[in-house]
Amino acid sequence: MIFVKKINSTTTFQVRQPVLRPGKPIESCIFEGDDLETTTHLGLYNNSKLAGIVSIFASCHKLFPQVGQFQLRGMAVLDEFQKKGYGERLVSEAEVCIKEQNGSLIWFNAREAAVDFYKKMGYEIVGDAFDIPTIGIHFVMRKMV
Ligand SMILES: CC(C)(COP(=O)(O)OP(=O)(O)OC[C@H]1O[C@@H](n2cnc3c(N)ncnc32)[C@H](O)[C@@H]1OP(=O)(O)O)[C@@H](O)C(=O)NCCC(=O)NCCS
């Protein structure tokens, strides 16, 4: 059975660490604002196994004038569960959650390797590529919802 539910920030580390911070200490998995009331963490389960995660932060990007901006962070699916539609399901569920909070714009810093995944889901690049030290090239992407 596949299902998505809200999880707490520390549960995300089960996927953040192997996928997004491999070889780095568990502390590197803590994101500023993880435990704010306005932050939501979603986990996708394959039966009892946490297979993918995404986190939603109420956060404005200086490039955008809109009120009701939300940022996706920590989007990740365990290697063995990739290419099964789980990432797409997580982004869709995050969009529903953001619409329920009257969000108008979703943005994030996308890794270069994931840009085409997000494009398939209707997100567009805004601005130039930039480097996040020790992680790599990123692009700001956004979608109006
Ligand atoms: C990027 C990621 C979240 C995608 O999750 P996933 O569960 O493998 O993706 P899905 O199976 O839902 O893919 C949906 C569609 O996007 C495509 N896709 C998936 N990853 C892709 C990628 N990196 N580049 C291009 N297309 C991709 C799939 O082929 C599929 O297309 P289809 O519907 O035509 O078959 C996952 O690969 C991952 O965790 N990668 C490592 C961490 C990462 O880069 N996170 C993003 C940080 S910004």
Other beta carbons within 10 Å of 10: 14
113 ligand 1 Cβ < 6 A: yes
85 ligand 1 Cβ < 6 A: yes
- Which residue is closest in CA terms to ligand 1's atom 7? 87
pLDDT for position 112:
97
* pLDDT tens digits for range 43-59: 999 999 999 999 999 99
H or E element that contains 42: strand 40-46
DSSP character at residue 136: E
Query: Nearest CA to 32 among 6, 55, 5?
Result: 55
Other beta carbons within 10 Å of 73: 22
pLDDT for position 78:
98
140 ligand 1 Cβ < 6 A: no
pLDDT for position 43:
99
Q: Which atom of ligand 1 is nearest to the CA of 114?
A: 23
* pLDDT tens digits for range 8-24: 999 999 999 999 999 99
CATH of the domain at 70: 3.40.630.30
End-to-end Cα separation, the chain, in angstroms: 29
Measured in angstroms, how far is the CA atom of residue 80 from the centroid of ligand 1?
Answer: 12
pLDDT for position 65:
94
19 ligand 1 Cβ < 6 A: yes
Within the chain, which residues score under 50 in pLDDT?
Answer: none
Tell me the two tokens of residue 51.
């297979």
Domain limits for position 45: 2-144
pLDDT for position 47:
97
Cα separation, 141 vs 110, whole angstroms: 7
pLDDT for position 42:
99
Number of domains in the chain: 1
88, 121 contact by CB (below 8 A)? yes
pLDDT for position 140:
98
If one residue of 31, 117, 135 were mutated to test the ligand 1 pocket, choosing by the most ligand atoms within 8 A of its CB, it would be 117
